[in-house]
Amino acid sequence: MDGFTHRHVEANGIRMHVVEAGSGFPVLLCHGFPELWYSWRHQLRALADAGFRAIAPDQRGYGETDSPSAIDQYSIHHLVGDLTGLLDALAIDRAVIVGHDWGGLLVWQMALLAAHRVAGVVGVNTPFFPRLPMRPVAMMRAMAQGNFHYILYFQEPGVAEAELDRDVRRTLRGFYQGPNRDALAQLLENPASVLGPNSGGLLDRLPDNPPGDFLSAADFDVFAGAFERTGFRGGLNWYRNFDRNWETTAYLSGAQVMQPALMITAELDPVLRPEMADGMREWVPNLRRTLLVRGSGHWTQQEKPAEVSAALLEFLVEFR
């Protein structure tokens, strides 16, 4: 895309693909599952036009960035190390970090684990979650009560890959749906009836309709082409470190994120519901604002790019 600079850098022992636009105070944009740097294309341009240096990497396991084979190479310490290594490679001391979905979980943890590199932090859909009182996978099993749970389904190496890699375009069509108020209402009323018994795969539960209108055919081809090359294993390995991350970050129990922060929620996200951000100020005392983006499903920065970009620019005023 015009105005974007692509490069590959060595960071934290892997080769990372990163896309940049503009100059000024750096803003690091972190995508989720199953996405790419391209998820931030609208914000890259908006931030650059407003006088910021916008930086969006393909994260470990995605796109043109390396995808190590070992599951334990996707721990939270590796993922945070990738971002600090990327800042080192770009000669950046501190940045505002922005994350959506899994990228949101990552940036909140980076604000704790590498606080001196984080000037401010923005969660998109993903709020700050304090440390759980028990192992995350055990808690998810208890919550599922024997029903299908996609994170539990992702735990067994090779199982989800076999299903999701078989037809990448069908898989991505299932994920990249626009907001559906009726399906959300059904899910909230009776989660078990929507998720169903613990049999079959994930695609049995995802529609095979055209992707949401936030993606053009050309946009969809960018994502599909990347995952047809890489498969989904790299991204799935992030999910397989929930318990490992919990074990290795016990010392963060009770820790607060002290940097200035912004939380952007999406009205119709069926997984990361807006109410999950309620009470977050107890853990993020310098939370400047919690914004609800109405009419948006899960892919907020793509579904409502103008609203997300405007909120970012309002927050970033203090970093000029």
Which of the residues are catalytic? 101, 298
DSSP 270: S
Yes or no: say if 28 and 97 are a contact pair by the CB < 8 Å rule.
yes
Sheet architecture: strand order including 287-293: 5-11, 14-21, 52-57, 25-30, 95-100, 118-124, 261-266, 287-293
Pairing of strands 5-11, 14-21: antiparallel
- Tally of residues, the chain: 320
CA 273 to chain centre: 14
- Name the one residue in this structure whose structure tokens are 């950046």: 92
Among 62, 149, 108, smallest CA distance to 277 is for 108
In terms of DSSP bridges, do strands 14-21 and 52-57 run parallel, antiparallel, or are they unpaired? antiparallel
Question: Measured between alpha carbons, how far is residue 261 from residues 66, 120, 177 in Å?
Answer: 30, 6, 29
**Cα–Cα distance between 306 and 228 in angstroms, integer?**
30
